[in-house]
Copies of this chain bind each other. A is one copy, B any other.
């Protein structure tokens, strides 16, 4: 399983991915699910991937080849807008589908993939997209603060409750980590290390690219403080006066 979240606030973007990949419970491995595309002063783009690893790795390879080939319409280092970038990712998905789709189907395997693409290209506002297995995509509007892929539900309530577009980057990053803590507590197939990437609007550079593992003091503090704080709040909520 996988859990990734991309957050778009007024000040910029926050991305977090876990790194656990499993094909059955006896085949668990660690793969990085955050890929960055960066040209200082011009663009900073992040791609988060979930789903069948053979599909998402192939997408990554096709995107890398497009960069090497300096393909203007498909290279994330050259596309003129993030909309074109989302189309490039969707196009790569469709190419993999044409190549692998019917073979996966013959083995009763879904063509399962979900991606989040976000970032900023010089002269344009920061943008955030969610791209589906069919290669189609949606974009975050002013009412949308985040997109999630993979094991999304356990960690959604805290995002719903605690952040909005006017939340600071730091607070958004903290909330994303709380969301991961909740998810990892309820689903063992989402696991450390996490990759955290923060991007401040108009910087065209990544402010934070942090790998958070079991030794991360900050994440462990969040884990303990949040858990203790929830228990405290729960105890403070008055009991019902029903006679049970």
Contacts and interface: CB of A to CB of B under 8 A. Distances in A.
Interface of A: 12, 153-154, 156-158, 160-162, 169-171, 173-175, 178, 182, 185-186, 198, 200, 207-208, 210, 218, 221-222, 225-227, 229-234, 236-244
A161 B185 contact: yes
A111 B158 CA distance: 33
Contact of A182 (B157, B218, B231): B157
Contact of A237 (B200, B225, B232): B225
Contacts of A221: 237-238
B186 A244 contact: no
Contacts of A174: 234, 237, 239-240
A226 B157 CA distance: 12
B178 A244 contact: no
Copies of chain A in the complex: 2
A220 to B, nearest CB: 12
Given A186-B153, A207-B244, A237-B226, A231 B200 contact: no
A178 B234 contact: yes
Contacts of A156: 154, 186
Given A161-B185, A161-B227, 12 more contacts: A12-B244, A153-B153, A162-B230, A162-B231, A170-B242, A170-B244, A173-B240, A174-B237, A210-B242, A221-B238, A222-B237, A232-B233
B240 A229 contact: no
A161 B231 contact: yes
Contacts of A171: 239
Contacts of A242: 170, 173, 198, 207-208, 210
Nearest to A171: B239
A81 to B, nearest CB: 25
A170 B242 CA distance: 8
A242 B170 CA distance: 8
A242 B218 CA distance: 10
